[in-house]
Amino acid sequence: MRIHWLAAGTLTLAAGLLCATPVAFASAEAVPQFASSVALETMPAETRGDLFMARGQYVQAVDAYRQVSPMTAIVWNKLGIAWHHLSAVDEAKRDYERALLIRPNYAEAINNLGAAYFEQKNYKKAIRLYRHALELMPNSAVIAANLGTAYFARGKYKPGIVAYRKAFDLDPGVFSNQETSVQGPTEPTDRAQQDYCLAELFAQAGMKESAIDYLRRAFDEGFRDRNRVMQDAVFAQLRKTADFAHLMAEQKLR
């Protein structure tokens, strides 16, 4: 499971971070890759920044966004995302906070600030920020998933499961993203519990392939309670499949 950064202005994400909703920045395929420097200079600074973000040219995006005047909460948030992509987390936090000075209830920036604190392993602060963002944007599967991941990182599995269930109910696809973003819990035990929870959610939804995938991940992270897997009512239908039998046979050989 991964942490995601919300982009500016809508229920969307920075290009390349999540595909469950349309991205705020133009897609890379839609951007001319060889636009002349003259053409770039004629664009508004924010548009140039968005173009560079779509191309993954985050240093250039930072330079472009810094030229925007006046700076809005949306631009500060985009600038924070650009810094975040560059792993300059302190700079990202600073700009998310600047966005929030202009718009205190800006849910996307609150979520992003939570992602920055999560990356710095300040999970308690990340949880507070994610909870606040989710109060402001209760239909965001991304924020709910981020909250669940932060709970798992603190070893708080029950509230983590509740948050994951909410995220899954809003959009099961939020857990299927494979794009680059901040990783979830660092402890194998936490990751194993997290992946087992996701396997249960996918099994309940009848998504057997994804359920098997997350069960395998849980085993790979050190989950060893085979009796729980064999007795868990959620996996009743899954246990009838050849893929499940193959997975459990793999575990016997370990």
**Domain ranges for the chain:** 2-186
Rounded to 5°, the CA angle 68-72-74 comes to 100
Residue with tokens 């995302």: 81
Give the pLDDT score at 128.
98
Q: Percentage of the chain with pLDDT > 70?
A: 80
Tokens (6 digits) for 4: 């995601």
Report phi then psi at 93, rounded to 5. Answer: -60, -45
Contact 141, 174 (CB under 8 A): yes
**pLDDT tens, residue by residue, 165-222:** 999 999 988 887 544 344 566 678 888 888 898 899 889 888 999 899 999 999 998 9
Give the pLDDT score at 20.
25
Would you say residue 14 has pLDDT above 50? no
- Class for domain 2-186, per CATH? mainly alpha
* Mean pLDDT, residues 150-154 taken together: 92
Mean pLDDT of the chain: 83
Q: Classify residue 136 as exposed, middle or buried by CB count within 10 Å of its CB (0-12, 13-18, 19+).
A: middle
Q: What pTM value is reported for the model?
A: 0.80
Rounded CA Rg of the chain: 20
Question: At 87, is the secondary structure helix, strand, or coil?
Answer: coil
Would you say residue 11 has pLDDT above 80? no
Identify the helix (H) or strand (E) that includes residue 2: strand 2-3
Contact 17, 5 (CB under 8 A): yes
**What pLDDT band is residue 82 in, cutting at 50, 70 and 90?**
very high
Q: How far is CA 108 from the centre of its chain?
A: 12
Residues 6+ apart with CB under 8 A from 23: 7, 12, 13, 14, 15, 16
Tokens (6 digits) for 90: 């302190």
**pLDDT tens, residue by residue, 99-121:** 999 999 999 999 999 999 999 99
Beta bridge partners of 2: 183
Tokens (6 digits) for 241: 């499949």
